[in-house]
């Protein structure tokens, strides 16, 4: 499979699922060409609603549709849709409306548009809600399965998708399950837990670490909430060191979740790789290098963390 953005895989998956399930509807706030629901709107014009640049209303309308039995996908850039957090909190989460919240264009990887368009705090916000699972797929295959899972899941859910293309990382027979992670590579010295757009680079970093004698287990954590506690604790116990890698703030993201859980059930040194500042404009590759999300940056942080 060639590299593909998870937003693109999402748009394709929705087309297929929409043919099988008439309850599926999409809502957009003037970004359907970017969230990739435009093809769905073209194929099912009576089931796609563009609410204009009014994300709060879009989220509320989605909740109302869900309460009449529809399965609405409410889509925008992650920062814009999760930015309407209060409406998500009450109209979707507390109401327990079956809304699929889709945030695309996550992380500094969107590049040139700069910080105001980057979803860097969305996981932190959504994690605080007690009944909203968070899924961030790492490649096309996983995205298709995550979207299908979202349709089956009764209740609100948050899908976090990338603008940039993602290299395939999951094996062809992979099956997504909520609360289950995928170990992509075995290792004994350190556990690397990555999610979404950073998974491929983390695998690459592990190969480089191998060359200097550091054996790293690499885990793809698509299920950010709930975590795979069993796999995390098993791996942390085996390696004794955990590094998280995500294109999101280190505060409240995957790294925060991992550190909180390990702190409670199996205290283990944790290093969180993620953002600690606002993002900025630039070439996505240059930004990944600057923020230390490229293979060299990840490998360097791991090496230092292990005191090698």
- Residue selected from 75, 97, 151, 166 as contacting other proteins according to rule CB under 8 A: 97
Show the tokens assigned to 85. Answer: 């957090």
Residue indicated by tokens 């060299």: 296
State the nearest-atom distance from the C-beta of 252 to other proteins, in Å. Answer: 22
Work out whether 281 is an interface residue with other proteins (CB under 8 A). Answer: no
Q: Which is nearer to other proteins, 52 or 186 (CB)?
A: 52
State the nearest-atom distance from the C-beta of 51 to other proteins, in Å. Answer: 6
Size of the site for other proteins (CB under 8 A): 32
* Alpha helices by DSSP H, the chain: 6-20, 32-35, 38-43, 55-66, 78-82, 85-87, 122-127, 140-152, 199-211, 229-239, 254-265, 284-291, 295-305
55 catalytic per annotation: yes
Q: Which is nearer to other proteins, 5 or 14 (CB)?
A: 14
Contact 13, 144 (CB under 8 A): yes
> Helices (H), strands (E): how many in the chain?
13, 14
Work out whether 39 is an interface residue with other proteins (CB under 8 A). Answer: no
The whole-angstrom separation of Cα 93 and Cα 151 is 16
Which candidate in 55, 121, 217, 246 is catalytic?
A: 55
- Residue selected from 5, 35, 40, 72 as contacting other proteins according to rule CB under 8 A: 72
State the nearest-atom distance from the C-beta of 95 to other proteins, in Å. Answer: 4
- Among 156, 97, 153, 150, smallest CA distance to 131 is for 156
Work out whether 51 is an interface residue with other proteins (CB under 8 A). Answer: yes
Beta strands 182-185 and 216-220 are: antiparallel
User: What residues act catalytically?
Assistant: 55
Binding site for other proteins (CB under 8 A): 25, 46-47, 49, 51-52, 54, 56-70, 72, 86-87, 89-91, 94-97
């Amino acid at each position: 499979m060639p590299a593909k953005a998870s937003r693109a895989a999402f748009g394709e998956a929705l087309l297929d699922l929409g043919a099988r399930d008439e309850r599926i509807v999409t809502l957009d706030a003037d970004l359907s060409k970017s969230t990739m629901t435009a093809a769905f709107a073209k194929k099912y014009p009576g089931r796609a609603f563009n609410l204009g640049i009014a994300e709060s209303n879009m989220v509320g309308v989605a909740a109302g549709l869900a309460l009449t039995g529809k399965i609405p996908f409410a889509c925008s850039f992650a920062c814009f849709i999760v930015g309407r957090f209060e409406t998500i909190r009450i109209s979707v989460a507390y109401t327990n409306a079956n809304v699929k919240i889709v945030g695309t264009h996550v992380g500094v990887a969107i590049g040139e548009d700069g910080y105001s368009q980057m979803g860097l705090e969305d996981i932190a916000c959504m994690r605080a809600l007690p009944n909203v699972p968070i899924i961030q797929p790492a490649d096309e295959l996983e995205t298709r399965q995550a979207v299908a899972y979202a349709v089956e899941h009764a209740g609100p859910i948050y899908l976090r998708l990338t603008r940039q293309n993602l290299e395939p990382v999951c094996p062809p027979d992979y099956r997504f399950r909520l609360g289950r992670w995928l170990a992509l590579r075995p290792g004994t010295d350190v556990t690397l837990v990555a999610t979404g757009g950073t998974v491929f680079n983390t695998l690459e970093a592990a190969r480089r670490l191998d060359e200097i004698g550091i054996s790293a287990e690499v885990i793809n954590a698509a299920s950010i909430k709930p975590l795979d506690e069993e796999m995390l604790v098993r791996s942390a116990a085996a390696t004794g060191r955990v590094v998280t890698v995500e294109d999101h703030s280190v505060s409240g993201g995957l790294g925060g979740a991992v550190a909180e859980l390990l702190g409670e059930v199996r205290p283990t040194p944790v290093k969180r790789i993620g953002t600690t500042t606002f993002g900025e404009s630039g070439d996505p590759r240059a930004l990944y290098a600057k923020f230390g999300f490229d293979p060299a940056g990840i490998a360097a942080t791991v090496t230092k963390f292990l005191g090698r």
